[in-house]
Chains A and B, each alone.
Chain A
Amino acid sequence: MRGFNILLQKEFREAWRSWKFLWIPLVFALLGMSDPLTNYYMTDILNAVGNVPEGFEMLMPELMPVDLLQGSIGQFQTICLLVLMATFVGAISRERASGMATLLYVRPISFSAHFMSKFIVMSTVAFISILAGFAASIYYTVVLYGTFEIGPLVACFFTYFSWLLFVIAVTLMMSAAFKTVVATACAFAVIFIGQILDSLVGTFWTISPWKLPLYGVQLMRGTMEMSDYWWSLSLTLVVSLICVSIGILTMKKNASMTKI
């Protein structure tokens, strides 16, 4: 891991100066607060917008705090993932294509250090982002609906973070393996088509990384089958590790793709 600290410092500087530590958490926070707010004020919104027919009675479902957190996580799963992945999918491939990698690759650095420095910065951005997202969602839920138990909440948070580590590992691996366009397509396919498949035919299996966000919520509901949970969590971490290893290898192999 030669040069790890130096590369880490460089990656942090870059992420910091391009405001990634600010705007990505902001997106998460905005989407996190949108679910409790819109649900709570739904009747008011509908009345204000009008077009509700006379005498129309709407039965609003009785929502538990955990339902709103689930709604927020649903938001994170689409737009926030998209933002996070789109921001970082070029981390390696774009550096190669622009030629910026050349001045780094000619030096005696290790590719694992280079890959891990990017992985850690991405993870940190992701961590702060879901921290902001969860905080926003929980704040409005607590104010408008009711409180959470702290233990399961923390478990849910870290379960979701493990899922994000998986997303990051896949994204970076694709970035190391392919050019930006192909990497984007592949990473999105794995994460989003994986999600769709898992929701369509996912009843046939119980252990999968794509189920982790849902399992986090089920932990809070207390309906989780714990063996499924642990197996899924372990599988996710193992697959992430494999992705990281493949990423490091392909990064090294593709070093000659850098523009000179």
Chain B
Amino acid sequence: MTILLQVTGLTKQFAERVVVDGIEFTLEKNTSTALIGPNGAGKTTTLSMLTGLLKPTSGSVKMVDGDLRANIGFLPQYPQFHPWLSALEFTEMAAKLNGVPTKKAKVEAQKTLEFVGLGNDLNKKISTFSGGMRQRLGISQAIVHKPKLLLLDEPVSALDPVGRREVLDLLKGLQQETTILYSTHILNDAEEMTDQLLFLRDGKLVEQGTLREVRQRFDEPNYIVEFGTEKEAQLFASQSELIGEVKGSHVYIEIIDEKPSMQELLQHLSSCPNKIRKVERQTASLEEIFMKVARKI
């Protein structure tokens, strides 16, 4: 794997407040990285420094081959466009400003707008666009010049479920040829397209790794046994030698070092007189991990 971007000791301080505190990570070529963390963790500030809009107090951002500013595409959380321009004009301008030759710019802009699903709105004024269309236009202006690195700040959080699905699919289509770094607090999205996770909390990078690594680190697997009624569940929990926690008609049994195994559990359950509806082994969702990381001190 080749490294595309190297971030070392990135720090941003506003007056007394340290918003981003010495974070370090690398991005490998053609991978997707999700930057997650609670509100105010410093995600947007980090992205702003990567784009060069914000000067870091200390630390550096280096693109391994080539100039950073010429090779990024950026989508802010709430992209604002010049309302007098049409979608095509804006995208074309974006391409040209990034050095796409004039003759090619229009063709590229058109292709990109078709790719993001604005093929029928090329010549409409941006002021008439809906939120979803703006987000698509935002993506098109970020990718029209085929940047090596695509930085997206909350690319889908302002969209309805349909729009979110479509934009996610769009981004997945880009994954093959672009390195993507995006911030989000919608964890399902992160779960869906991520090679690397960066957990930010209070400006510090508290967790990083692949989804699988992070999951292993924080996983506290459970068996869930579902009974017909709450009473039956409580009865089972009080009689069984397995330590279980009752929530409604469910009994949660913690797995510690792979004990008890599924066989042991099933053996145990076979003698149970009550009706069992479901037995399941559950692994932590990203959301649970998120909560754990967010609270971890």
Contact = CB atoms under 8 A, between A and B. Distances in A.
Interface stretch (B64-72, B172-180, B220-228): B64-72
Contacts of A7: 97
Interface in A109-142: 109
A14 B53 contact: no
A221 interface: no
Chain A interface, >50% SS class? helix
B30 to A, nearest CB: 21
Contacts of B48: 256, 260
Given A106-B69, A106-B72, A256-B53, A14 B97 contact: no
A108 interface: yes
Contacts of A260: 44, 47-48, 53, 76-77, 153
B293 to A, nearest CB: 25
A215 B70 CA distance: 49
Contacts of A107: 69, 94, 97-98
B84 A13 contact: yes
A30 B44 CA distance: 49
B245 interface: no
Contact of A258 (B53, B93, B99): B53
Given A108-B98, A260-B153, A10 B53 contact: no
Contacts of B259: none
A108 B93 CA distance: 13
Nearest to A14: B84
Given A13-B89, A102-B76, A260-B153, A108 B53 contact: no
A109 B86 CA distance: 21
A99 interface: yes
A6 B97 CA distance: 7
Contacts of B99: 108
Interface in A70-128: 98-100, 102-109
B85 interface: yes
B141 interface: yes
A9 B48 CA distance: 27
Contacts of B82: 10, 14, 100
Contacts of B52: 106
Nearest to B77: A260
A-B residue pairs, 3 tightest by C-beta? A99-B80, A17-B84, A107-B97
Given A106-B53, A108-B69, A256-B53, 4 more contacts: A14-B85, A103-B94, A103-B141, A109-B97
